[in-house]
A = this chain, B = another copy of it.
Amino acid sequence: MCRWAAYIGTPIFIEELMFDPCHSLIKQCKQAEECKTAINADGFGLAWYLEKAEPGLYRDVYPAWSDPNLKSVATQIRSGLFLAHVRASTGSAISRNNCHPFAVENWSFMHNGQMGGFESFRKKADMLISDELYQFRKGATDSEVLFLLAMGNGLRGNPKQALIRAVYELQHMSAVYGAGPAMRLSAAFSDGNTLYAVRYASDNHAPSLYYRRNSSGSGWEVVSEPLDLHKDDWKEVQNGELCCFNQNEVLIEEFSVE
């Protein structure tokens, strides 16, 4: 499994979300509370939006807690929209291209979850990636495939439908060729304007997902698990919900995969 955290709102220093809270993403590297794996030390990544359409992307294979470069980038960069992730590998190699977030053009995507028996149908999954997008298939994770399938399905035009279809395709493959549970996911993605977060599982065990308006009121914090343990201001996203955050509002829609 993995842990992640994202922010949209008035620009803040990335460290304010990633490092400073008492149960920050960095703490969750060693002691995640609502995750199958307490330890998430198989790499990390950061995607942040500033002036350009494409996000910056910084990913590496070390545990996030000890990387001075990450600390420096997070301490210095103020951004109004960013995605941060710490990884626990579910089988694929420890390499930068297997770390999240993934980025294509102005889109970024990160994921926590599993697709049962993925390695058994990875080839079939890879084959579903469109010819135009295959150049972006650089690693071997299920997460990267999910993202590229959603891009190919029209993430730019209709994010919800595009992702529903991608989830359906992979869930179906898992059911036929893989192993249960077919699909469990919480994911966050963005086009640089809106931050999306989704929680879904083919069974009853969707990975955790929460959000809240941050304490200063400057924006939304969207997280795998609360950055301060068990405080009442965190709202839990339900299994089968997609949240669309802009600077000030959130719209919650049903995310239903037949």
A interface list, Cβ under 8 A from B: 30, 39, 41-42, 48, 50-52, 55-63, 66-69, 72-73, 75-78, 89, 92-97, 119, 122-123, 126-127, 129, 131, 134-135, 137-138, 140
Contacts and interface: CB of A to CB of B under 8 A. Distances in A.
A63 B75 contact: no
A75 B52 contact: yes
A42 to B, nearest CB: 6
Nearest to A52: B76
Given A76-B50, A97-B93, A41 B56 contact: no
Contact of A69 (B58, B66, B76, B138): B58
Given A58-B72, A76-B50, A94-B66, A123 B119 contact: no
A59 B56 CA distance: 17
Contacts of A129: 123
A189 B42 CA distance: 31
A134 B92 CA distance: 13
